[in-house]
A and B are shown apart, each in its own frame.
Chain A
Amino acid sequence: MTMVRQASAAATAARTAAQPMLDVERVRTDFPLLMQHRDGKPLVYLDNAATTQKPQVVVDSVKQYYEGYNANIHRGVYKLSQQATDAYEAARVKLQRFVNAAQPHEIIFLRGVTEAVNLVAHSFGRTSLVAGDEVVISAMEHHSNIVPWQIVCEATRARLRIVPMTDEGELELDEFEGLISAKTKLVALVHVSNSLGTINPVKEMVAIAHGHNVPVLVDGAQATPHMAVDVQDLDCDFYALSGHKMFGPTGIGILYGKAELLNAMPPYQGGGEMIRSVCFDKTTYAPLPAKFEAGTPNIAGAIGLGAAVDYLNGMSWDAIHAHEDDLLRYATESLETIPGLHVLGTAKEKASVVSFVLDGVHAHDIGTIVDKEGVAIRTGHHCTQPVMERLGVPATARASFAFYNTREEVDALVRAVHRVHEVFS
């Protein structure tokens, strides 16, 4: 008996060493909002692909800035301004290390992925695209990585080409290579699909594009809350992330760009902060990163995002991955036991996102009914109307999990979806 126990303890220890466990209950206490009850029921927040909740340390860092050292940056000679500048620039270095960029000035603070794509589309796109050129994007892009390219293509008379996807929600790589030609000036790809959860083989696709000397922009909005990102390893030319998707504040994100490319690009917006000198005859621009940060930036946001990075650095990506993978499998299996329910997006490599439809019931009705059970999920087209069109559905219900979600919350979702059948029976 004793021997068995010892053997079992040793096995447990070995497992723990191989796969660090996440103490979810402890982690949850870091997030004040998760402690809430709604209509007498515990809040089950499963809309993390839309935005994530914020740990107390992020909320505190923003509060401390406003209460303790709020001042504009890069201009005051007084100590308070210097303190704010130091915190803002320290946040830049945190983000540089977070994505493993070679240099801090390759990190541009802006509002998020939407603004990052617009920056590249207008600054890089408008100056390098001419009539007949092509930009390649994929069938599973978020509208934020479609519409800016349509605007620029219309202005330059360039053309958008689309990498198709399979019924399972995987990009067709053979088709991808075939789409790249001498006309291709840029490839813009989503790292992880927000509506299906597919993790795209970005590194491989960057290598293919680079084989044709075509630079690549990666939309990392849905990747950074789930996995370590190394822009030098991916060798992508641009990488964008949004703070609020990775436990930081809204209205702040970054564009990473290789210095060589960013240096060659014209400014996107003009104003204060981004100039070296201004005369009515001629204005010269500041070097990176200021060239792309016109106006007073979201200082509190950058500091808060830095705090979110610190928070993530205190965790283990392996532990997060193991936990989220367990949630993904458990949720997929549990939901599929519900009659008439179909999971959309069954790629081999997936982040913890489960999109589903229910026969005879529109996604909005699912959303309203599960909300009454205290379960928050997203319903609709998820800003990916072409994905809905491709899969032949008007909308889906989507549960998206973060590391602070639990199997019990999956159970609550499944119970709530059963309620939909009761209401509609």
Chain B
Amino acid sequence: MADLKDLYQQIVLDHNRAPRNFKKIPNASHTAEGTNPLCGDDITLYVTVEGNVIKDVGFQGKGCAISQASASLMTSTVKGKTTEEAESLFRAFHDMVAGGPDAPADDKTLGKLAALAGVKRFPARVKCANLPWHTLHAALTGSDEPASTE
């Protein structure tokens, strides 16, 4: 039986309470908005890319503990990475939260992002965890359409 402690790990609660990189970057090279139309959660992501390296990243918005913690963990993880590395983290993260029940999480790649592995057992909350990543993907690929989990 899925346990609430798997979902709300201490690190998740901590990142929700004190989100890292919760800031607007006025001269960001890339920005995107993401919404979860089902619940009204929204996020705006600001990314500064130099060459192909993510020099700075920030987010603002409102949402549940899972989406806020996910955005906080994501921004702390991708800062300093190349855009290719960020996209590959997105794939690993997506596999972790939405992959099959037996798909092992790639802890080595994911690092502290693995704190959100418990989301897999709460299917209704997968979209909350993925929202910041979809938004990052939209920002990096320069999509004009707001990112959506639908």
Contacts and interface: CB of A to CB of B under 8 A. Distances in A.
Interface in B6-41: 7-8, 13, 38-41
A407 interface: no
A280 B74 CA distance: 62
B40 A380 contact: yes
A395 B4 contact: no
A363 B41 CA distance: 11
Interface stretch (B46-54, B59-67, B94-102, B109-117): B59-67
Interface residues of B, number: 19
A407 to B, nearest CB: 26
Given A39-B1, A372-B4, A365 B40 contact: no
A362 B13 CA distance: 12
A372 B3 CA distance: 8
A365 B64 CA distance: 6
B38 A365 contact: no
Interface residues of A, number: 18
A364 B122 CA distance: 12
A316 B64 CA distance: 42
Interface in A357-382: 361-365, 368-369, 372, 379-381
A291 B2 CA distance: 52
Given A362-B65, A364-B128, A394-B63, A424 B8 contact: yes
A379 B39 contact: yes
A385 interface: yes
A1 interface: no
B1 A394 contact: no
B3 to A, nearest CB: 8
Nearest to A362: B64
Interface string A378-402: 0111000100100000110000000
Contacts of A423: 4, 8
B124 interface: yes
B47 to A, nearest CB: 24
B81 interface: no
Interface string A195-236: 000000000000000000000000000000000000000000
Given A379-B39, A381-B39, 16 more contacts: A362-B63, A362-B68, A363-B64, A364-B64, A364-B65, A364-B128, A368-B4, A368-B124, A368-B125, A369-B4, A380-B39, A380-B40, A385-B40, A388-B40, A394-B62, A423-B4
Closest 9 CB pairs of A and B: A364-B64, A362-B64, A381-B40, A380-B39, A394-B62, A365-B65, A365-B64, A423-B8, A372-B4
